[in-house]
Chain A
Amino acid sequence: MDLTPLLTSDQIITYALNGLSNGMILFLVASGLTLIFGLIGLINFTHGAMVALGGYLTLVFVGVTGSFWLSLVAAIVVVSAFGLLLERTILHHLYEEPLLGFLATFGIHLVVEELLSFRFGDQSRSLTAPFPGSMDLLGVGYPKHRLLIIAIGFAVALVIGLVLTRTRLGLEIHATAIQPDTAEILGVNSRKVYTLTFVLGTALAALAGGLVGPITSITPGMGTSYMVQAFLVIIVGGMGSFKGSFVVSIIVGQITAFGWLILAPTYVELTVFIAAMAFILYKPRGFFGKPEVFE
């Protein structure tokens, strides 16, 4: 029997790391979505637009300051401020009406995306990585920026995980998610908690948009495809489950990285979609979702 391995070990490491870095970007998008959905119950369709906005603002600020990190931070701040503005002026009125909330965010998403394509055109742009080139890892040369994305993804997961489980704010978020009225009586300012969560989710989207710039192209529609995938991730991971979005993002990243060996790439995507549909039907709380609680 011919036992020539399909892949060399170098290739396996490269694919796995590709999957991991793509999974981390997906996680940054999905975690924001799942926080907002889990706490507020809002299907936040502005999320994709925030990713794209984060990407473009980073691009613009890089042109001004020349520093990727400064620009990324500035972009996150601006996008968060925009999220704060939206939440305070429009969205918080619609929390009781999930369908209207979805429709409003859908409209905002459309406006932002079209304004971006109006201002920057439809052709894709790209960013230069702050640390170009690759470094040696397990005997494989691997792009530094992707490794950085992996590190940042883990760091964000750790920090937010700690905030949710170890801090007063995390406790208040849990309490508000479970029983807003009771939480309010016990002195939680639920309005503030909603706003903070929304802004945090938006900041994560902007971070994803800026970080992904050097490895893929920046287009006005870049956020939409991430968002749609992220929705499916949080369905499978459990709506509102932070841990779920982390684990499932990594799994989806690996499936897309290795799946094409068996199936064409589009089929891999289709399989993920079908899995998500099955989850909605038979296990709507996903793998990790406990009702309305996330950690």
Chain B
Amino acid sequence: MSQRSAGLRAYFSDSYRWLWIAFAVAVLVLPAVGTNYFVGVFTQALIYGLLAISLDIALGYTGLLSLAPAAFFGIGAYSVAKVVVDWGVSYWLGFPLAVVVAAVVAVAIGYGPIKRRIGEVYFVLFTLAFGVLAHDATYVATSLTGGSNGLGYFSPPSMLGVDLGGTVPYYYFTVLVVGALGIGLYALLRSDYGSILHATRQNELRMRYLGYDTDREKLVAWVLSAVTSALAGALFVGTVGLAAPSMMSFQLSGEVIIWTVVGGTGTFVGPFIAAIVLHIVNNYLGNVWPEGYLIVLGILFVGFVFLLPEGVMGAIRKRLR
């Protein structure tokens, strides 16, 4: 009993955990104190946080810099919109569809480059081509994607008697999904699997000598990252009720990369928080000075790459160590 309370005390004395508990409480009570508008902004911020995590799995943990997170985000968004708008079946079918389509596309795109070990520079260019291809395809494949009009409009259905179409219910739904996925992925990456990825990124040759099939591990991480992006996209489409080509745009991919690098690649928490903070900043700065956000973001970003390549979270962890 005493041992357990000591364990508990140690648990809570860690200031880091207090921050998390404070964050969780703030997230839960937000609708009670914030305006409806802010709740809406924060819903999207949380989803972007998940998207940043998905890129961090690829870039930070596996060392694969993808220029196409938005492509998978768009796949998720279009899956849900397609299911509801064009096929008229249940909204909930969109999520498994998003997962399956994203996984299949991720394997199709990732298998060749990873298996052939084309190197990080070529991987960047490969995903650049894929990202632009996916974005262009949304305009061309009009019967599938609705072209530049996109697929819409719809609103999320009721679940257990709660209408998810409202801002606050959808917010809690998002908190639930992002929370569950975030904690699940965090646990996964803290496990042995995460160590394998870290070790592979640092010294792939040695890991191969140790008997690990590093290609397979990288491919699994790549698919995991793609599926997470797609789930973020599937969640996001519920907030706007429309799947549009801009969700696949290169600009979104660029922003995701910035969030991830500013937050700190390979830190998991950093990109998540950075995405939330920067999205909120974007929203309020965007009203005052529309171009200002990207200018500030760009300068901030160059500064980070140059002065603090490990990102905010990386720097904090280094100091704590």
Cα A270 to Cα B137 in complex, Å, equals 8
Whether B87 is near chain A, meaning CB under 8 Å from some CB there, is no
User: How far does the Cβ of B73 sit from chain A's closest Cβ, in whole Å?
Assistant: 18
Cα A110 to Cα B261 in complex, Å, equals 15
**Cβ < 8 Å to A, chain B residues 114-161:** 116, 118, 120-122, 124-126, 128-130, 132-133, 136-137, 139-140
Whether A81 is near chain B, meaning CB under 8 Å from some CB there, is no
Closest to A232 in B: B129
Whether A267 is near chain B, meaning CB under 8 Å from some CB there, is yes
Cα A235 to Cα B309 in complex, Å, equals 28
Partner of A108, one of B120, B137, B250, B298: B298
Size category, A interface:
35 or more
Whether A94 is near chain B, meaning CB under 8 Å from some CB there, is yes
Whether A162 is near chain B, meaning CB under 8 Å from some CB there, is no
**Is the pair A98, B302 in contact by a Cβ cutoff of 8 Å?**
no
**Is the pair B122, A274 in contact by a Cβ cutoff of 8 Å?**
no
Closest to B265 in A: A99
Whether A277 is near chain B, meaning CB under 8 Å from some CB there, is yes
User: How far does the Cβ of B251 sit from chain A's closest Cβ, in whole Å?
Assistant: 9
**Is the pair B118, A280 in contact by a Cβ cutoff of 8 Å?**
yes
Main secondary structure of the interface of A (DSSP, over half): helix
Q: Assess A277 versus B126: contact at CB under 8 Å? Given A107-B298, A118-B291, A266-B136.
A: yes
**Is the pair A280, B140 in contact by a Cβ cutoff of 8 Å?**
no
Question: How would residues 106 to 146 of chain A score, 1 for a CB under 8 Å from any chain B CB and 0 otherwise?
Answer: 11111101110110000000000000000000000000000
Inter-chain contacts of A266 with B (CB < 8 A): 136, 139-140
Interface residues contributed by chain B, number (CB under 8 Å): 37
Whether A64 is near chain B, meaning CB under 8 Å from some CB there, is no
**Is the pair B125, A111 in contact by a Cβ cutoff of 8 Å?**
no
Inter-chain contacts of B169 with A (CB < 8 A): none
Partner of A277, one of B130, B258, B297, B299: B130
Inter-chain contacts of A41 with B (CB < 8 A): 121
Cα A270 to Cα B125 in complex, Å, equals 15
Inter-chain contacts of B133 with A (CB < 8 A): 270, 273-274, 277
Cα A98 to Cα B177 in complex, Å, equals 36
Q: Assess A110 versus B291: contact at CB under 8 Å? Given A41-B121, A277-B130, A280-B125.
A: no
Cα A157 to Cα B134 in complex, Å, equals 33
Main secondary structure of the interface of B (DSSP, over half): helix
Whether B295 is near chain A, meaning CB under 8 Å from some CB there, is yes
Cα A276 to Cα B121 in complex, Å, equals 14
Q: Assess A280 versus B258: contact at CB under 8 Å? Given A107-B298, A108-B302, A110-B298.
A: no
Partner of B254, one of A106, A111, A228, A277: A106
Whether A264 is near chain B, meaning CB under 8 Å from some CB there, is yes
**Is the pair A90, B306 in contact by a Cβ cutoff of 8 Å?**
yes
Cα A22 to Cα B122 in complex, Å, equals 26
Inter-chain contacts of B140 with A (CB < 8 A): 264, 266-267, 270
Whether A231 is near chain B, meaning CB under 8 Å from some CB there, is yes
User: How far does the Cβ of B269 sit from chain A's closest Cβ, in whole Å?
Assistant: 20
Whether B171 is near chain A, meaning CB under 8 Å from some CB there, is no
**Cβ < 8 Å to B, chain A residues 189-217:** none
Cα A280 to Cα B120 in complex, Å, equals 12
Question: How would residues 226 to 243 of chain A score, 1 for a CB under 8 Å from any chain B CB and 0 otherwise?
Answer: 001001100100000000
Partner of A103, one of B113, B118, B257, B294: B257
**Is the pair A99, B120 in contact by a Cβ cutoff of 8 Å?**
yes
Some 18 contacts from A to B, beta carbons below 8 A apart, are A43-B125, A98-B120, A102-B124, A103-B261, A104-B302, A107-B305, A108-B298, A109-B298, A110-B301, A115-B295, A118-B292, A231-B125, A266-B139, A270-B133, A273-B129, A274-B133, A277-B126, A280-B113
A residues neighboring B (CB under 8 Å) = 41, 43, 90, 93-94, 97-100, 102-104, 106-111, 113-115, 117-118, 224, 228, 231-232, 235, 264, 266-267, 269-270, 273-274, 276-277, 280-281, 284
The 9 closest A-B pairs by CB, nearest first: A111-B298, A110-B298, A107-B301, A107-B302, A118-B291, A114-B294, A104-B305, A114-B295, A273-B133
